[in-house]
Amino acid sequence: MPKPLSHFRIVDLSCVLAGPFSTQLLADFGAEVQKLEPPEGDPTRGWGPPFEDAESGESAYFRCANRGKQSRTIDLHTEEGRADLFELLKDADVLVENFRADSADRLGLGWKRLHAKFPRLILASVRGFASDVTASRRAGYDFIIQAESGWMAITGEPDGRPMKMGVALVDVLAGLYCANGIQAALLHRERTGEAMHIEVPLMEAALAGLVNVAAGALMTGQRPGRWGNAHPQIVPYQTFCCTDGDVAIAVGSDRQFEVLAMWLNLDLEARPEWRKNRGRVQDREELVALIEARTQASTVEEVLAFCEANAIPASRVRSVDEVLFRHGGELHNLLQPLFESETGEMIPTLATPLLLNGERPCAPLPPPRWNP
């Protein structure tokens, strides 16, 4: 399996999800990652259930972001702990941390001091808010950032309450940005010899993740609303009820809609405005009601059969366990078992969703056990 980062050493002081998720990706690419945990451990070790042994053992939350790493305990609030860290940094390429900026400075981990001591060390700092804004001293958790950034305001049913995403997607985005920034900094250092400080604010990762919603608000000055499973700019592009479940239909082109219109027995000569997405968005409620009247009289398989035969993107709405356990090899090949040397068991995990020369990178080490 390709290991393009096998000659780099990463020291990871981060905890919870964004920072660990980024260093797990670097470990999948072959980097050596040393995870340094406080005396009480990464908080996610206790975030459960589920735990591997009902009420004890490794948590699923910790397991999702820490494979490929070696771990040790370090107390940065002691001189001995800081001395141990600085000894590790002598041979490290990257330090990843997610302290608040003032806390990092008190621990001697601010950029200016570290850069003076270790001029080739790249520093990656995951923050709640950027260092150049007035909120910079606030702590940031994914849930708080989803509320603060507007994500909750656009998630949920139109007449329902604001809703968070089902996973900590802000943390995942920030982790991806962090890993990307680290790799860019490594390339820059190899060309110029110059190290860099990377800062990844969760708040700004969330705003960047608003993509077309943010672009629309910037263009019009209007407040985006909640659309449930519908799309604000494309119709039809949502879920529909069938006799035995729900189906998602995504009509991404006018040509696809013309085919769907034949299935619905719609006369587009009488409604020429529906030939273009603009007209379908304008008459959203009327058109969606016509489609749902047809799907409600059909099974999911009947709808999917028509869509597949006519190249219209569609899917059954599946549960997580269904897609993980029943559709490996058909919809994905992401499951990767890791061998746990201490217990002799195989630990199921999800590999990185990139293919390098046809293979999905996945660090061979399982998440490190807790040995305080």
Catalytic residue, chosen from 42, 159, 171, 254, is: 171
Cross-strand partners of 186: none
CATH superfamily of 9-210: Crotonobetainyl-coa:carnitine coa-transferase; domain 1 (3.40.50.10540)
Q: Alpha-carbon distance 32 to 226, whole Å?
A: 43
Give the pLDDT of residue 341. Answer: 64
Give the pLDDT of residue 54. Answer: 75
CB 178 within 8 A of CB 124: yes
Give the pLDDT of residue 369. Answer: 87
Q: Alpha-carbon distance 101 to 85, whole Å?
A: 18
Beta-carbon contacts of 126 under 8 Å, excluding residues fewer than 6 positions away, are 14, 18, 19, 22, 96, 97, 98, 174, 175, 178, 200, 202
Catalytic annotation present for 171: yes
Give the 3-state DSSP-derived string for 41-58, with helices as H, strands as E and coil as C.
CCHHHHCCCCEEEECEEE
Domain boundaries, the chain: 9-210, 237-317
Cα-to-chain-centroid distance, residue 349 = 16
For the segment 100-123, what is each residue's pLDDT rounded down to a tens digit? 988 999 999 999 999 999 999 999
Q: Which segments in the chain show pLDDT lower than 50?
A: none
Q: Alpha-carbon distance 198 to 189, whole Å?
A: 13
Beta-carbon contacts of 344 under 8 Å, excluding residues fewer than 6 positions away, are none
CA-angle at 13, arms to 7 and 16, nearest 5°: 115
Beta-carbon contacts of 288 under 8 Å, excluding residues fewer than 6 positions away, are 230, 235, 236, 238
- β pairing state of 335-339 and 346-350: antiparallel
- Domain with residues 237-317, CATH architecture: 2-Layer Sandwich (3.30)
Judge whether 9-210 and 237-317 match in fold: no
Q: Is the pTM of this model over 0.85?
A: yes
Give the pLDDT of residue 283. Answer: 97
Q: Alpha-carbon distance 213 to 99, whole Å?
A: 30
